[in-house]
Structure 1
């Protein structure tokens, strides 16, 4: 029998106009403490974002998402936060923010295959 792993995930959202609180799901982050697993993936639907705000800075969004990825993967280019333990990085990235990139509250689940579960959630919630 395969072992079930407890995981947490959060949906990455872009909020083109923060004051309106409207968002578009653009990515997913998943964390499993026992497996020391932290993965992030995103997709930028430029046309959809521009429907909310034609002047939204897509290039800055790409830079910011790249920072999220570097922190998530623990790369030193991600700055001091990237040196935190995996759980601390996940918690920092999912902390409540009032910026144009926000995350959902973390949700939990069990999986015997974290990669397959990530891919399934990404398809359902992002694409």
Structure 2
């Protein structure tokens, strides 16, 4: 079975940047050689509310849904969703100063990118 190199970022909920505290809420995995870009997320609303009561958990879910649609190539999200797969991953991994922020890029090898995305979600988010 072939092994494919992949890159991933963890999407973090960072309510107050100055405190450097965050909750992992999603993972984007890009595997160019397998032509795979996947995004999975889980927003534990009670946990978000306990962590940052000033934030509406629905706004976090809305932002994660947007990133999911970008990764899926959904044209309804605008130009970001219409780009090639690598460019869409670049959009997701780009640093930003919003509540949802990507981790540094990490990498690995896998024979099944979709299964690896699920494994990373279980390990890092759920």
Q: TM-score, normalised by structure 1?
A: 0.93
Q: Does the residue aligned with 1:34 lie in a helix, a strand or coil?
A: helix
Q: Does 1:121 align with 2:115?
A: no
CA offsets 1:33-85 (integer angstroms, 9 cap, x no match): 11110000100111221222212122222221111111110011111111111
Partner of 2:76: 77
1: CA distance between counterparts of 2:8 and 2:87? 14
Q: Note if contact 1:11-1:27 (Cα within 8 Å) is conserved in structure 2.
A: yes
Equivalence for 2:3: 4
Name the residue aligned to 1:64.
Answer: 63
Give the 4+ runs in structure 1 shifted more than 6 A: none
The 1-side partners of 2:99 and 2:18 are apart by 10
The alignment of Structure 1 onto Structure 2 pairs a total of residues equal to 126
Q: Which residue of 1 aligns with 2:99?
A: 100
Stretches of structure 1 lacking an aligned partner (at least 5 in a row): none
1:74-107 superposed Cα distances (whole Å, 9 cap, x missing partner) = 0111111111110111011111111100111111
2-11 vs 56-65, greater mean Cα deviation: 56-65
Q: Which runs of 5+ in 2 are unaligned?
A: none
Q: CA deviation at 1:20?
A: 1.8
